[in-house]
Chains A and B, each alone.
Chain A
């Protein structure tokens, strides 16, 4: 995806709005996705690791890893993106671990959230703030 500076600024502004001004309809998209995933169940905060850079050089390609031993599936959300869903990893019977890495797009500085559905039906969540640098040389 070619992210021009203008697009980045517009998307960044959107993310800033979502983060700071808390427009209810906008900010709840990510929360809605979490609620849909968990069915409103209580969500713990141990047993899952989310690895993401504190500062991403470019929002177009941000490496993230998730690891939740014993998880059936892990959903990743970029809470400040126009559409927060990033992907869901379902682990099969031959999974060597309940861990995966990928590269994702972030429209601006925001929280990335990973939420795991454990084999026993409980949920755990981890969150990591990623600062996305915008503005340098367009080249």
Chain B
């Protein structure tokens, strides 16, 4: 059995390192609705030592997929933003409040998405935007928490992302979040599963190469939630992490787990400077 496993690992390593077909990112500019230019390529933050530039996954997609994201009507992810807008105005729970009761229009949330995950002083923890939404639901609205990566939640995160599109991702990495950020970095560089692959093996060392028939991007998460052509729905970032780790043939962590919160904090910070794009369109 051990022999089989190492053979698979070897084959995977070979497939990655000997990739002859390149899938270089395109030279293109993402202009949303013919008016808002987004940053899809910028100088890497100082804490991302192995990369010179950070690139949005948008640059690794085909012409038709890129075009689909550039127009809010063509982007099927915006259907779910509209659904979340209805939820935004709907009172729920024992307090009879909706999101709008405290926050007014959803547009007032511009600037929130780019800084998450972030430290919550009162709770003494690093919070993702999902955790914050559920805190609002349970402690302010008296409503039930949403499932971490369920439909209602991913729609709401898409709404909160959509109003911050064009703003630069700006996740803090120091101060009280630093230890969790280090934990996330550790996870990023740790090989997992029978294929013995870390996040870095694919997305840092081999972005721009093919993995089987698909392009490997830098694995940036500035575009989440993403509408994937594959499953024709919005996908939460922790669901994507889970899929990636499963693809290494490892037992995965769960959406909302402390490990994934740490990984989101680290991976999010690797995209500091890129524009928030969610909901984006990917394969």
Binding site for B on A (CB under 8 A): 1-3, 53, 55-58, 60-63, 133-139
Contacts and interface: CB of A to CB of B under 8 A. Distances in A.
A76 B255 CA distance: 41
Nearest to B68: A63
**Secondary structure call for the B interface:** mixed
Identify which of A2, A136, A137 gathers the most chain B CB atoms within 10 Å of its CB: A137
Contacts of A60: 229-232
B213 A136 contact: yes
B243 A138 contact: yes
B283 interface: yes
Nearest to B76: A61
Interface residues of B, number: 24
Given A2-B231, A58-B229, A60-B232, A137 B243 contact: yes
A57 B210 CA distance: 13
**Secondary structure call for the A interface:** loop
Interface of B: 61-65, 68, 211-215, 228-232, 235, 239-240, 243-244, 246-247, 283
A137 B211 contact: yes
Nearest to A137: B247
Given A3-B230, A139-B228, A139-B235, 17 more contacts: A53-B62, A55-B62, A57-B62, A57-B64, A57-B65, A58-B283, A60-B231, A61-B232, A62-B64, A63-B64, A63-B68, A136-B212, A136-B213, A136-B214, A137-B214, A137-B247, A138-B243
